[in-house]
Amino acid sequence: DIQMTQSPSSLSASVGDRVTITCQASQDISNYLNWYQQKPGKAPKLLIYDASNLETGVPSRFSGSGSGTDFTFTISSLQPEDIATYYCQQYDNLLFTFGQGTRLEIK
């Protein structure tokens, strides 16, 4: 089974900061890597699919990159409404796996 290592597990940043989260797969997963945002008490929301594609309606300050085993999720300018937990999710060999999550807080 493919393991996903997401880091950091928590992050504190100021409004306007550039924020980066990484996800590493234990094997090559091509670009089958997606990113979700989850706010407290809510269901996850898809932000980025296939490593770098912005879901419709998602602000352009969110972006993703990478392929193979190493992936990066970036918020170019942190906004107060971005406070949430972020998860990566991979697909390989007919199975799905989520990362452990990154809790993002405002400094």
> Least separation, in Å, of the C-beta of 17 and other proteins?
24
In sequence order, the β-bridge partners of residue 65 are: 72
Taking the least distance from each CB to other proteins, the nearer of 17 and 91 is 91
Residue 105 found at the interface with other proteins (CB under 8 A): no
> Least separation, in Å, of the C-beta of 87 and other proteins?
6
Separation between Cα atoms, residue 88 and residue 20, nearest integer Å: 13
Contacts of 7 (CB under 8 A, 6+ apart): 21, 22, 24, 102
Near other proteins in 27-46, by CB under 8 A? 32, 34, 36, 38, 43-46
Other CB atoms within 10 Å distance of the CB of residue 58: 16
- By the 10 Å C-beta count (0-12 exposed, 13-18 middle, 19+ buried), 103 is classed as middle
Near other proteins in 39-98, by CB under 8 A? 43-46, 49-50, 55, 87, 89, 91, 94-98
Q: Can you give the binding site for other proteins, defined by CB under 8 A?
A: 1, 32, 34, 36, 38, 43-46, 49-50, 55, 87, 89, 91, 94-101
